[in-house]
């Protein structure tokens, strides 16, 4: 059975268009509630959201759907996705629910779920929910309806958790840090985390109005942070996305570091402390230079499908702790059960403060291969897999690269785009190759 509604990270789309409509979201919550009640008599779910204006409407629909199935609801208000995962586990709830479309613009929104352990749920659970959606509703009677309440100081509890992942013997005193929260879920949390650890903090992207989430700020638009770091002579810049589960960082020179580099830096810090790092999980998109550098350190490297849930599956399969994506989804399973932009940033700052070294010094030994990624928007009804010229042109380009690069073509799980990536030891070859394949897609 294939999934109809669930993508790589929950259910996502444009608000007001199926499936992101209040009637469907109510039915979805009712179906999820019925699945929960198969194993638990009185389940409790936590609901958090980002700062999109549509979050109010979808929150109400979820609350009604869960209550109608006899499930209690705890409302957390605006909170990063990893914060919902943490509180779900800490509060011993049955399920965590996040209303967010992550890095997408404000007209989009979505619903994603976390298990009682604070982890992404398996494909089979999503299939069970989709099967329940096809069944007629079974409304609870009045005496069995669920109740709803708000959790006081959800943000404060999560702030304390984040701070606990930073080494107790270290401090950020004397540091000036720029924080860009993408006008998203961490707007009232990220600045406090770094300030309470001793840093002088100044903010951009911390004034949400319901419509400006991810707009020219945040991890998907890091140029705003680069400019802010340079203009304010900051020591570090930290950029999160709309739901704060991904991270990009900037150093004092204004150099931007992506998830691949940050993952490598965290591995090197663990090794420097004498910790054993048997292996690391990346994705099909992870830069080849990271894989080569890790193998030189006798650290095994495995590639998962794109998506942090698949990175997590591989980490659990091997019993490893560290993994991530170039986009900034980073997993430190000895610190948190899911990807967390704030926790990941604190691990990088841990390494810099402990060693007294700069990020470039900590990244000695790895120089990323140039990559060009082009997102080709697909037209309605366009089936890129039927483009007969694309496989031939791809094979031709791979032969030209002759082992000195890679080609990766994949459809996005969250947007109607085809991602065309070419990696090569020469930047011009990567750019020209990607443009060539993108043009074949557009023509097809």
Could you tell me the CATH number of the domain that includes residue 340?
Answer: 3.40.120.10
Output the DSSP codes for 310-353.
Answer: HHHHHHHHHT--EEE-TTS-EEETTT-SS--HHHHHHHHHHHHH
Average pLDDT over residues 238-257: 98
Verify that 263 and 292 share a domain, yes or no: yes
According to the model, what pLDDT value does residue 307 have? 87
Query: Which tokens belong to 391?
Result: 């496989």
48 shares its domain with 99: yes
CA nearest neighbour of 440 among 401, 370, 384, 399? 384
Q: Which long-range contacts (CB under 8 A, 24 or more apart) does 222-227 make?
A: 222/180, 222/248, 222/250, 222/256, 224/180, 225/178, 225/180, 225/250, 226/250, 226/254, 226/256
Q: Distances in Å between the alpha carbon of 165 and those of 241, 268, 334?
A: 20, 18, 9
- Least confident range of 21-30, 176-185, 289-298: 289-298
Per-residue pLDDT, 404: 79
Let me know if residue 128 belongs to a domain: yes
287 plus 216 within the same structural domain: no
With b for 16 or more beta-carbon neighbours within 10 A and e for fewer, the 14-53 pattern comes to ebeeebbbbebbbbbbbbbbbbbbeeeeebbbbbbbbbbe
- Residue 393: give its domain's CATH number: 3.30.310.50
User: DSSP assignment of 134-150, as one string?
Assistant: TSPP-PPPGGG---EEE
Mean pLDDT, to the nearest integer, of 385-414?
89
Q: Which of 117, 152, 187 is the last residue of a domain?
A: 152
On whether both 275 and 314 belong to a single domain, the answer is yes
Cite the active site residues. 102
Q: What percent of the chain has pLDDT over 90?
A: 90
Q: Find the mean pLDDT for residues 6-23.
A: 95
Tell me the DSSP string of 238-282.
EEE-TTS--EEEEETT--EE-HHHHHHHHHHHHHHTT----EEEE
Whether 26 is covered by a domain: the verdict is yes
Q: Is residue 416 part of a domain?
A: yes
Ranking 31-45, 120-134, 281-295, 401-415 by mean pLDDT, the lowest is 401-415
The SS3 call for residue 191 is: helix
Q: What domain range is 62 assigned to?
A: 11-152
Structure tokens at 309: 């849930």
Same domain, 125 and 33: yes
According to the model, what pLDDT value does residue 103 have?
93
User: Six-digit token pair at 238?
Assistant: 């930290």
**Count of domains for the chain:** 4
Checking if the pLDDT of 28 tops 70, the result is: yes
Looking at the structure, tell me whether residues 119 and 165 fall in a common domain. no
pLDDT (0 to 100) of residue 8: 80
- Any idea what DSSP says for residue 287? -
> What is the pLDDT averaged over residues 366-372?
91
Q: Residue 317 falls within a domain, yes or no?
A: yes
Q: Region 43-54: what's the mean pLDDT?
A: 98
Residue 43 and residue 119 in one domain: yes
Minimum mean pLDDT among 4-8, 115-119, 148-152, 220-224: which range?
4-8
Q: Are residues 323 and 343 in the same domain?
A: yes
444 pLDDT band, cuts 50/70/90, is confident
Claim to verify: residue 104 and residue 28 sit in the same structural domain: yes
CA distance 411 to 299: 30
- Does a structural domain hold residue 405? yes
Question: Are residues 100 and 81 in contact, defined by beta-carbon separation less than 8 angstroms?
Answer: yes
Confirm if 416 and 377 have CB atoms less than 8 A apart: yes
* Cis bond before residue 185 (omega within 30° of 0): no
Q: Is residue 3 part of a domain?
A: no
What's the pLDDT tens digit per position in 85-97?
Answer: 999 999 999 999 9
Q: Residue 306 — very low, low, confident or very high, per pLDDT cuts 50/70/90? A: confident
Last residue of a domain, one of 323, 340, 362: 362
- 2 has a pLDDT exceeding 80: no
Calculate the average pLDDT of the chain: 95
Query: Which residues contact residue 399 at a Cβ distance below 8 angstroms, ignoring those fewer than 6 apart?
Result: none
Give the end of a domain, one of 305, 330, 362. 362
103 and 214 share a domain? no
The more confident residue out of 187 and 401 is: 187
58 lies in some domain: yes
pLDDT at 9 over 90: no
User: Quick one: pLDDT at residue 327?
Assistant: 93
Q: Are residues 21 and 137 in the same domain?
A: yes
Is the pLDDT confidence value at 403 over 80? no
Quote the pLDDT of residue 358: 96
Q: Using pLDDT thresholds of 50, 70 and 90, give the confidence band for residue 246.
A: very high
pLDDT at 309: 87
In this prediction, residues 313-319 reach a mean pLDDT of: 97
Instruction: State the angle between helix axes of 55-68 and 22-36 in degrees (0 to 180), rounded to the nearest 10.
Output: 40
47 within some domain: yes
Q: Are 127 and 204 members of one domain?
A: no
Q: In this predicted model, which residue has the larger pLDDT, 48 or 9?
A: 48
- Band the pLDDT of 1: cuts 50, 70, 90: low
């Amino acid at each position: 059975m294939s999934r109809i509604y669930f993508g790589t990270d929950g259910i996502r789309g444009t608000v007001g268009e199926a499936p992101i409509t209040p009637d469907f979201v109510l039915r979805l919550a009712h179906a999820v509630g019925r699945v929960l009640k198969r194993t638990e008599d009185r389940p409790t779910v936590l609901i958090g959201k980002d700062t999109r204006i549509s979050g109010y409407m979808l929150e109400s629909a979820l609350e009604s759907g869960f209550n109608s199935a006899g499930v209690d609801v705890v409302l957390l208000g605006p909170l990063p996705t990893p914060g919902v995962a943490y509180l779900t586990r800490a509060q011993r709830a049955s399920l965590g629910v996040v209303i967010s479309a992550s890095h997408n613009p404000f007209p989009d929104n979505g619903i994603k779920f976390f298990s009682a352990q604070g982890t992404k749920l398996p494909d089979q659970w999503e299939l069970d929910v989709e099967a329940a959606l096809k069944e007629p509703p079974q409304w609870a009677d009045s005496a069995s309806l669920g109740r709803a309440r708000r959790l006081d100081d959800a943000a404060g509890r999560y702030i304390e958790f984040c701070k606990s992942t930073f080494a107790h013997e270290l401090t950020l005193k004397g540091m000036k840090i720029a924080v860009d929260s993408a006008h998203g879920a961490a707007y009232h949390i990220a600045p406090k985390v770094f300030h309470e650890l001793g840093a002088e903090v100044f903010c951009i992207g911390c004034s949400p109005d319901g419509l400006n989430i991810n707009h020219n700020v945040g991890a998907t638009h890091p140029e705003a942070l680069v400019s802010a770091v340079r203009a304010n002579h900051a020591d570090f810049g930290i950029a999160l996305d709309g739901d704060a589960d991904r991270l990009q960082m900037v150093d004092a020179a204004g150099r931007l570091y992506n998830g691949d580099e940050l993952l490598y830096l965290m591995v090197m810090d663990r090794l420097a402390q004498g910790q054993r790092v048997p292996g690391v999980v990346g994705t099909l998109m992870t830069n080849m230079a990271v894989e080569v550098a890790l193998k030189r350190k006798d650290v095994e490297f495995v590639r998962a499908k794109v998506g942090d849930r698949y990175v997590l599956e591989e980490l659990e399969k091997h019993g490893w702790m560290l993994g991530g994506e170039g986009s900034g989804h980073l997993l430190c399973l000895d610190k948190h059960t899911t990807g967390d932009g704030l926790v990941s940033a604190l691990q990088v700052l841990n390494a810099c403060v402990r060693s007294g070294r700069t990020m470039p010094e900590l990244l000695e030994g790895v120089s990323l291969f140039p990559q060009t990624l082009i997102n080709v928007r697909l037209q309605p009804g366009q089936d890129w897999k039927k483009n007969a010229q694309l496989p031939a042109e791809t094979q031709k380009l791979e032969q030209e690269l002759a082992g000195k690069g890679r080609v990766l073509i994949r459809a996005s799980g969250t947007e109607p785009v085809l991602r065309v990536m070419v990696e090569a030891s020469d930047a011009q070859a990567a750019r020209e190759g990607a443009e060539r394949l993108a043009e074949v897609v557009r023509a097809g």
